[in-house]
A = this chain, B = another copy of it.
């Protein structure tokens, strides 16, 4: 079974996994980060409390988080097709993955930002900082270590979701593991795949922790 095509497939699987995971994470952050910031900003104890907008956003985020991934996947098919012209393959999977991960990211970001010391927020307010400046120059930089740690969590969680890419012929290591390990019962391929997955997770998680610690100036 260790022929060239298997190796080829595993190699491609690693590539696809990285592609889907990082792509989705990127877009999930592009959407989720601002949402998380808005959640913190509009909250009752935020820098621009706005009960109505907060509630609306809160519900939207929860709503997206409530959809089982497969349901979400078909619900956004028309959108995916409109956007990419296809609903197949790793690129197409990035769309539902992003939509599914963005509210998750928003919640993680919300959690990180809520840990920023009120004192420094007040200090910047006393200097006449605008909401945008507080977000950009205080909340995000001060929460940086926590944001990075949570980003590692987001990446590994999204990586987990890429296993479901098989539903739409997406590919990737998770899909390989399921196809061979689950459907075909070729457990040696599954094993290799899982080991590769472990390595990938280890790299992301390790990197996240390392960067977070290196960039944390509090200790």
Chain A interface residues (CB < 8 Å from chain B): 44-45, 58-59, 61-63, 65-71, 74, 104, 107-108, 110-112, 114-115, 118, 145-146, 149-150, 152-153, 156-157, 159-160, 163, 174, 177-178, 181-182, 190, 194, 197-198, 200-202, 205-206, 209, 212-213, 218-219
Known: A149-B114, A163-B68, A213-B45. A62 touches B178 (CB 8 A): no
Q: Is the interface of A mostly helix, strand, loop or mixed?
A: helix
Number of copies: 2
Known: A111-B146, A111-B150, A219-B45. A68 touches B177 (CB 8 A): yes
Known: A62-B198, A194-B66, A205-B62. A71 touches B178 (CB 8 A): yes
Contacts of A198 in B (CB 8 A): 62-63, 66
Q: Which residue of B lies closest to A39 (CB)?
A: B209
Contact B200 A66 (CB under 8 A): yes
Contacts of A181 in B (CB 8 A): 71, 74
Contacts of A61 in B (CB 8 A): 205
